[in-house]
Structure 1
Amino acid sequence: MDLSCFKAYDLRGRVPDQLNPVLAEKIGRAYVEITGAKKVIVGYDIRLSSPDIAEALSSGLMAAGADVFDIGLCGTEQVYFATSHYKMDGGIMVTASHNPKDHNGMKMVGPESRPISSDNGLNEIRDRVLEPFGDAPQQGRYEPLEVMSAYVDHLLGYIDAGSLSPLTIVCNAGNGGAGLVIDELEQHLPFEFVKVHHQPDGHFPNGVPNPILPENRAATADAVIAEGAAMGIAWDGDYDRCFFFDENGRFIEGYYIVGLLADQFLRKTGGGKVIHDPRLTWNTMDLVKAAGGEAIESKTGHAFIKQRMRDEDAVYGGEMSAHHYFRDFAYCDSGMIPWLLVAERLCQSGQTLSSLIDARIEAYPASGEINRTIDDPPKVIAAIEAKYSVGAKSVSHVDGVSIEFDDWRFNLRMSNTEPVVRLNVESRADIPLMEEKTEELLAEMQRLNEER
């Protein structure tokens, strides 16, 4: 049996050769045997293969003795919400997020929506799938569960509805599931939504929903300009990530959104801890300190960020990859809470999104993440560290290597999921320096890669 769909954090693979209903049924049985779960939330995304895979998964869960609470078509964060809100033993979301349309996958959590990754159960589930199964003495039962109303109520709890004023907002669901939530939220908010690629459609008629690809941004940017909107928001297919466009249609790097959300959240809580990834840090640290909070660096990746947030009781965590985590959302990531907070900030401040962001870009200009395919990543990273650590103010290994000087810094790390090396560079209010150092590092990486 091909088990290549099991990855470090979740399952993803082509349907039907890498993931199919037969395998999904076995995964359901293995999940119960390894975790001991008795009550499990199951939800699925808009992909054409998702209902059949979710049904087979549920059959396996019930055959192993677990009760299945089916929340139907939803986003990943609704599985997280339902698992914690209803105090279930676990939850499984059938989704392949922004992978090609012939792919599918699963994201798994345990009690309190704690992630199940390769280091805490996912590999055991994979290995158990290969062994024969017997049915549990008592079959689990099946129950549909409506979570949208409780979920929407929870989302609205993050903002002060009385401080909101009318705004025009472009929302691009990418034919994923986000439009269903916008339609529910719309009834409670004074905003006018301009809906782009709004209908859920697993055929993905406008391409796979992945706004991080520059070619997928034009539809949102053009609509913002055409409608004179205050901002644009675009989501990936299972809407656990959201991406922002200012009133000029400009795509905003996720790094600057982390700082903005940290600032907005700390204003509400009157302080607290904020977890951030090590790729780009200065802007976030500056804003968190100014708002009376404490910034704490964590290794990149949702499992690491969520655990660190729990350890520190942090109110918010953000990654520049557009994942945003909230303590009151079971320390999980949401693609809906961030834009509600940004919209609230626009209403309360009377400022445009560009004016809020421009000041931060000027203070801490950044290269954005640059990926390069490298034959021997550890060798190249070690050589870069040896060269640049001379005279550096600090060298850190929280994730890859981060090297800091008085007026610029960079992070170089291997991807957790792809055979590439990722570079991020930032400076203190000096765009030419940031650009010069970025080019210098890229040239050095290429030279080292070509050395035999």
Structure 2
Amino acid sequence: MTTEPEDDLYDRIVTPHDIRGLFRAEVDPGLAYRAGAAFTELTGAGAIAVAHDVRQSSPCLADAFAQGVLDQGADVLDAGLGSTDYLSYVSGCLDVPGAMITAGRAPAAYNGIRLCRAGAVDVAEGTGMELLRRRLRAPRPPLADRPGSVLPTRVLHDYAAHLRTLVDLSGIRPLKVVVDAGNGMAGLTAPLVLAHPSIELVAVRWELTGTFPRGAPDLADVSGLREAVRESAADVGLAFDGDGGRVLAVDERGAVVPPATVIALVAGRELARRPGAAVVHDLLTATSAIDAIKEAGGIPVRSRTGPAAIKALMAEQDAAFGGAHGGHYYFRDFWYADTGMLAALHLLAELGDCGRELSELAARHDRYASSGTIDVRVPDPLAALQRVVRHFAAEGTALDHLDGVTGELADGAWFNVRASGTGPVVRVNVEAGTVAAMGRLRDRVVEVVVSAGR
């Protein structure tokens, strides 16, 4: 590993949500071993599930993490190769803590570890990640008197079968579905979960290479999916990121379906099963999705961004469903964990039941103009946020501080400004009723943010 001071290393690679860094230089088997030992000590569990993605570095990191667990006297439930939501299934179904060796949508040179407590409850900053960071800096704990045992727990087909019990596809019309796995874990899970007599799957990048030869599996570029949908005259296209957790859809014309539209469609289906239930959304979710939740008789509940915050609020509210602006979808029936594959099943069920094109379904929710996330580099993010507060408060804008600074204007337009947790960057999101109004508000907010750094 790198020779930089360990405090600096751990501050960087132990993020609020996971451990992540360059393989060998920052995240190596030695660190994985100590993380396994520290996580066992932290949870006090008698058994911990371990799964890994297809990255070439993942098996050795999984073995090292498992050895750290075993040397502390706990058993390892070896779940093998799978997606992150597969690990959530194992943790939730067997009620054990779990570790997923993955770097999500990061390039192949990276790897990391995501952790959850029993029942697929996220380990994040404030719920254990800060303690894990401290334990990694401490001397390695002594070996247990008796090591644990490795128990093979390869239950991928059980995971797929469980997801299929949660969505009724029995009466759907025939659908042609393009699935771009990005050479990631959906190449393994999609054929199992989406197998159905009425669904014809068209494979794009299903090969489990472990190197992502066509670029990082981050859903930043779905041009190949869009082209494949048009060329094959498919009804819908689905793209998954590297660990299979996040999904992005395109309609039959190849146009990207905003995550807010997916939230609206899935929320409507879940609320039909649980009338009047709460649906959690992060504070960057488009107003169109919130409108749809209300129209379906649900109670929209606003959350800070991030999986830990959304899942905790869902559990508190007994919410039926949760959605995030970036394309993560959380389900009460899946231990409040996120699973892009279950969201995909719901989307196919909705499309197959209604007899309309996806573009028509999406058009019903195209009501507002959004800027998307704009990253603005500034010397001092905190000063930038303070400037935003002073400027817009002086104009009488209603402000709140649930996550960064959110301002709501009298005409319903809103903005959010947050400091990034990864550098001197402020993240700006803006929504308004028209493209022109959104552009004007966006430019005003960015100008205030930039002026704070002058």
Does structure 2 retain, via aligned residues, the 8 Å contact 1:69–1:145?
Answer: yes
2:128 is matched with which residue? Answer: 121
| Structure 1 pair 409–50 and aligned structure 2 pair: CA distance change class (3 A) | same
Bigger mean CA deviation after superposition, 138-147 or 254-263: 254-263
Check if 1:302 corresponds to 2:307.
Answer: yes
Check if 1:368 corresponds to 2:376.
Answer: no
| Structure 1 pair 156–322 and aligned structure 2 pair: CA distance change class (3 A) | same
Unpaired stretches in structure 2, ≥5 consecutive residues: 1-5
1:5 is matched with which residue? Answer: 13
Bigger mean CA deviation after superposition, 403-412 or 228-237: 403-412
- 1:62 Cα deviation (Å)? 0.7
1:151 is matched with which residue? Answer: 159
1:384 is matched with which residue? Answer: 388
Does structure 1 retain, via aligned residues, the 8 Å contact 2:98–2:116?
Answer: yes
1:263 is matched with which residue? Answer: 268
1:98 is matched with which residue? Answer: 105
2:428 corresponds, among 423, 433, 444, to 423
For residues 359-388 of structure 1, give each alpha carbon's deviation from its aligned partner in whole angstroms, at most 9, with x where no partner exists. 322x22212222211221122222222222
Q: CA–CA distance in 2 between the matches of 1:311 and 1:397?
A: 21
| Structure 1 pair 352–416 and aligned structure 2 pair: CA distance change class (3 A) | farther
CA RMSD of aligned residues (A): 1.6
Q: CA–CA distance in 1 between the matches of 2:197 and 2:15?
A: 39
Q: CA–CA distance in 2 between the matches of 1:409 and 1:93?
A: 37
TM-score by length of 2: 0.94
Q: CA–CA distance in 1 between the matches of 2:283 and 2:71?
A: 44
2:3 is matched with which residue? Answer: none
- 1:237 Cα deviation (Å)? 0.6
| Structure 1 pair 437–132 and aligned structure 2 pair: CA distance change class (3 A) | closer
2:209 is matched with which residue? Answer: 201
Q: CA–CA distance in 1 between the matches of 2:263 and 2:202?
A: 25
Amino acid at match of 1:48: Q
Does structure 2 retain, via aligned residues, the 8 Å contact 1:98–1:237?
Answer: yes
Does structure 1 retain, via aligned residues, the 8 Å contact 2:330–2:336?
Answer: yes
2:241 is matched with which residue? Answer: 236
Does structure 1 retain, via aligned residues, the 8 Å contact 2:384–2:450?
Answer: no
Q: CA–CA distance in 1 between the matches of 2:129 and 2:428?
A: 29
Instruction: Give SS of 2:386's match.
Output: helix
User: Identical aligned pairs, as a percentage?
Assistant: 32
1:131 is matched with which residue? Answer: 139
Check if 1:347 corresponds to 2:352.
Answer: yes
- 1:224 Cα deviation (Å)? 0.9
Does structure 1 retain, via aligned residues, the 8 Å contact 2:286–2:370?
Answer: no
2:75 is matched with which residue? Answer: 67
Unpaired stretches in structure 1, ≥5 consecutive residues: none
Q: CA–CA distance in 1 between the matches of 2:95 and 2:262?
A: 31
Amino acid at match of 1:359: R
Does structure 1 retain, via aligned residues, the 8 Å contact 2:218–2:242?
Answer: yes
- 1:75 Cα deviation (Å)? 0.6
Q: CA–CA distance in 2 between the matches of 1:234 and 1:70?
A: 28
Check if 1:169 corresponds to 2:177.
Answer: yes
Does structure 1 retain, via aligned residues, the 8 Å contact 2:289–2:365?
Answer: no
For residues 81-130 of structure 1, give each alpha carbon's deviation from its aligned partner in whole angstroms, at most 9, with x where no partner exists. 10110122x00000011112111100001111111123222232232233
Instruction: Give SS of 1:223's match.
Output: helix
Q: CA–CA distance in 2 between the matches of 1:304 and 1:186?
A: 29
2:26 is matched with which residue? Answer: 18
Task: Count residues in correspondence.
Answer: 444
Check if 1:35 corresponds to 2:39.
Answer: no
Bigger mean CA deviation after superposition, 296-305 or 25-34: 25-34
- 1:306 Cα deviation (Å)? 0.8
Does structure 2 retain, via aligned residues, the 8 Å contact 1:392–1:403?
Answer: no
- 1:131 Cα deviation (Å)? 0.9
- 1:132 Cα deviation (Å)? 3.2
Q: CA–CA distance in 2 between the matches of 1:416 and 1:229?
A: 39
1:446 is matched with which residue? Answer: 450
2:87 is matched with which residue? Answer: 79
| Structure 1 pair 163–271 and aligned structure 2 pair: CA distance change class (3 A) | farther
- 1:390 Cα deviation (Å)? 4.1
Amino acid at match of 2:78: D
